[in-house]
Structure formats: structure tokens, C-alpha cells
Structure 1
Amino acid sequence: MYNGRTDHVEHVSHFNQRMAVHSKNETLMCNVFPSSLGPVAMRWFDGLRATSIDSFKELTQAFGSHFITCSRVPQPLAFLLSLSMREGETLKTYSNRYWEMFNEIDGDFNVIAISTFKLGLPTEHGLRKSLTGKLVISIHQLIDWIDKYKRIEEDQQQGKRKGMVIP
């Protein structure tokens, strides 16, 4: 359901995916589209003049024009470059923030992502030291290393809670 606050382009894309087998049937597409609208968007739809829309393309263009302020704006690469691990932050929290921002950036920046993730870690962090000595060539490989160090970090935190010292 489109709530009037999310990206309208994503909504139309999801609707088109759900209706893919019927995409050639303009009338059906136009008649079913309102069922994907929440109250705010439905008020907009109900306010359309009768016979003002001649095709599904026109309907989605009018929809996009009305909800243009809800468009998702891709984040610039500079946001990713400025991320770093905060003092006292866990690797898990940092990596979650990092990958969330990475997913908001349009373009193929995998090589840069690998470097900037490492540079965002404190110089004394074990993962950064490990990544400095290794050639990491893919995001998947980086994620594997992060997961390994997250498990180590979690084990150390559990050990502290139990009063044990884990190197």
C-alpha cells in the first residue's frame, strides 16, 4: 500500500512486478492500481477528473507528479567516505550503518566501499589490521571478514559479562 510518504517510483515498480502477467492489459492495470493506494494517495486518485487519464503510463506519470516530493534521492558517495566507527561502537553497529548507507548510493563503488570500510575502522582495530595485510577483492569477501570479527567481538562481550578474560 502506498502511504503517500515513500518513494513513488519504488511503489510503481513493485506494482508493475506484481502485475507483470497483466502488463499488456491497460484497462486492468488502471483499474487495479487504486487497490495499491493508502488513504492519502486514494484521496488524490479520487480527485482525478473523469476521463482525464487515457493510459496506465499517464496514470503513473500523474501519480509521480503529485507525489514527487516523496522521491528517494540517492546519497552521494561522499556520505560513504565520511563514515567511521564511533568511539565505543561495536563492529556490528558500525557495519550495519555502513551497509545501510552503501545501499543508498547509486553506482558501482564496490572497490571504494572495501577501502572506505577499512579506513573507517580505528587504526588499532583487529579487523583493520587484518584487512591491511590481506587483499580483499569483493564485497562478499569483506562481509565474510566482518562476520568473523563480529563473532570474535560478541564472544569477547559474552566473556566480559561472565567475568572471563578472552584475548
Structure 2
Amino acid sequence: MYDESKDPLKHLETFKAHMTLHDFSRKIACQVFPLTLKGVVRGWFGALQLSSIDSFEELGRQLMIQFKANRRRRRPPAYLLTVKQRGDESLKAYLTKCNKERVMAYDWGEKISPAALLGGVWPIYSFMTELGDPKTKVLYILDSH
């Protein structure tokens, strides 16, 4: 279901993928699409003038124009270097946050991600000490392969 709090492009792409996967025609897609809308977006759709949209592509364009401000912007890879662990944040919470931010970065590459991850750990020295401990699971797993 799509409401104004989500990315309209992601919703359109997901919807099109489902329609293509199940081999539905564009006409059926236009008829079914309103069922995936809720709240303000459904109200917007209901307010469209009859016959003002003549194709699913036009419906998609109109949706994007109306809800463009709700699109999520991808961040440059260098943004990952600004993500830091807060003093009261657990390592697990920090890793979760880093992963969410990495997904939002475009073309992040394999080299910047580990550098950003390690550079944002607070305090860095206790983390490095923990990694150096032979009892640490991460090193145990790496050594066993």
C-alpha cells in the first residue's frame, strides 16, 4: 500500500514488476493500481478528472509530479564517512544504522564501506581491542576459514 510517507518511485517500480511478473495488461494495471493507494494519495487519485489520464505511464508521471517531494534521495558514498557511533549507542545499534545508511548511498563501493564503518566507531580503541581479543567471534570465524 502506498501513502504519502513513502517513495512513489519505489511503489511504482514494485507495482510494475508485479504486473509484469503476472503478465497483466496495462489496462488491468490502471484498474488495479488505485487499490494499492491509501490516505491522501487515494484522495488525490479520486479527485482526478475522468479521462484525464489515458495510460498507465501517464498515471505514473502524474503520481511522481504530485508526490515528488516524498522521494528518498540517494546519498553520495562520502556521506558514509559522516556516520558516527554515539557515545550511548551499542555496537549492534551502530552497525544497524550503518547498514541502513549504506543502502541509501549510491555507488558506495566495497572500499569506502569498511573505512566508513571503522572510522565511525566510538570509542575506536575499545572496539579495536575487542577485535584483537582471540575470544572475539569475528576473528574466530575468520581464522577458521
Q: TM-score range by the shorter chain?
A: 0.7 to 0.9
Q: CA RMSD in A?
A: 2.3
Identity of matched residues, %: 27
The 3 A distance-change label for structure 1 pair 17 and 128 is: farther
**Per-residue CA distance 1:47-69 (angstroms, 9 max, x = gap):** 11111111110111111111111
**Partner in structure 2 of residue 26 of structure 1:** 26
Higher radius of gyration, 1 or 2: 1
Look up the SS of the partner of 1:78 in the other structure: helix
TM-score by length of 2: 0.80
Q: CA deviation at 1:119?
A: 1.9
Larger relative CO (CA 8 A, sep 6+): 1 or 2? 2
Q: CA deviation at 1:130?
A: 4.2
**Per-residue CA distance 1:83-135 (angstroms, 9 max, x = gap):** 2222243211111111111111111322100112112223312447748xxxx
**1:50 and 1:98 mapped to 2: Cα distance?**
46
**Aligned residue identity for 1:148:** V
Give structure 1 regions of 4+ aligned residues with deviation exceeding 6 angstroms: none
> Does the 8 A contact of 1:118 with 1:128 survive in 2?
no
Superposed counterparts of 1:124-143, under 5 Å: 124-127=125-128, 130=131
**Partner in structure 1 of residue 78 of structure 2:** 78
Structure 1: stretches of 5+ with no match in the other structure: 132-145, 150-167
> Does the 8 A contact of 2:76 with 2:107 survive in 1?
no
The 3 A distance-change label for structure 1 pair 27 and 98 is: same
Superposed counterparts of 1:101-116, under 5 Å: 101-116=101-116
TM-score by length of 1: 0.71
> Does the 8 A contact of 1:75 with 1:105 survive in 2?
yes
